[in-house]
Amino acid sequence: MMDFNIAEYIRFISLAIVPFMFAITVHEFSHGMSAYLLGDDTAKRAGRLTLNPIAHIDLFGLLFLIITRLFGWAKPVPVNYANLYRKTRYGPAIVAVAGPASNLALAIVSAVALRLMYNIEVQADGLAYKILVPLAGMLKLSVSINLALFIFNLIPIPPLDGGRIVTNFLPYDKAVKFAAIERYGFIIILVLFLTRAIDYILMPVMNFFMNILL
């Protein structure tokens, strides 16, 4: 039984690593690109305006994926929010929402590709079958990983994207107080995971989207 579990776990990691790396890379690239389009080149100067996953990988975030089998993160793209306000009052919110929006788009594209793949007729145990089966598994994981990142990052807790969006829409005095929660943000998120409260927050929404897409 133990060998079977280990084998399944290794199989999951081998299938999940590529869609996970692509998901977090596109997420952070979208933050950086939206900031760049709004007049802030901080991410570009830091070498983060790239689709090279090496520039974005966070070892602890990758480890979290290995442990949870669903969630993880990359290194946050540096943004000078003062530059964003030159274009629009809601520049920080636009940059924040760009990351989760990119994950929702990737989830939809992956689901469409998976549906198209199911219509391909191949001979069982043939070469095409051996290629398409793991590819289908990667696409299905891409849907779930990207949906998880989309929903998780919209939770209104700083420093998550949802927290930054809320902060941007609050009056200045309330925004300062709300942003101060960021120093405890990781602890709050960790408690949500350890108590499994995160399941009650995310899973109903995630299942809703999964049923639509798959």
pLDDT tens digits for range 46-99: 999 999 999 998 888 888 777 777 677 889 999 999 999 888 999 999 999 999
Instruction: Judge whether 15 and 23 are in contact, CB under 8 Å.
Output: no
193 pLDDT tier (thresholds 50, 70, 90): confident
Q: Is the pTM higher than 0.95?
A: no
> Given pLDDT bands bounded at 50, 70 and 90, which one contains residue 171?
very high
Number of domains in the chain: 1
* Cβ(77)–Cβ(57) below 8 Å: no
Kindly report the length of the chain: 214
C-alpha–C-alpha distance, residues 210 and 214, integer Å: 6
pLDDT, residue 108, reads: 97
**pLDDT number for residue 174:** 95
Q: Could you tell me which residue, 89 or 7, shows the higher pLDDT?
A: 89
What is the span of the domain harbouring residue 74? 2-213
Burial class from Cβ neighbours inside 10 Å (0-12, 13-18, 19+) for residue 84 reads buried
Catalytic residue among 8, 28, 121, 182: 28
Check if 121 is active-site: no
Answer for the pair 40, 80: CB distance below 8 angstroms, yes or no: yes
Largest CA distance in the chain: 65
Q: In whole angstroms, give the CA distance from residue 2 to residue 15.
A: 20
Distance from the first to the final alpha carbon of the chain: 30
Q: What pLDDT, on the 0 to 100 scale, is given for residue 68?
A: 73
Residue 132, amino acid: L
pLDDT at 70: 65
DSSP 3-state assignment of 74? Answer: strand
pLDDT-derived band of residue 2, with 50, 70 and 90 as boundaries?
Answer: very low
User: What's the rounded Cα separation, in Å, for the pair 140 and 19?
Assistant: 9
How many percent of the chain have pLDDT more than 90? 64
The sign of the torsion formed by the CA atoms of 74, 40, 154, 142 equals: negative
Model confidence over 94-130: pLDDT tens digits?
A: 999 999 999 999 999 999 999 998 888 877 777 877 8
Nearest one of 49, 59, 54, 147 to 100, comparing CA atoms: 147
Considering 1-5, 107-111, 155-159, 188-192, the range whose residues carry the highest mean pLDDT is 107-111
The per-residue pLDDT for 27 is 96
pLDDT at position 11 is: 85
**pLDDT at residue 129 in the model:** 77
Report pLDDT for 198. Answer: 86
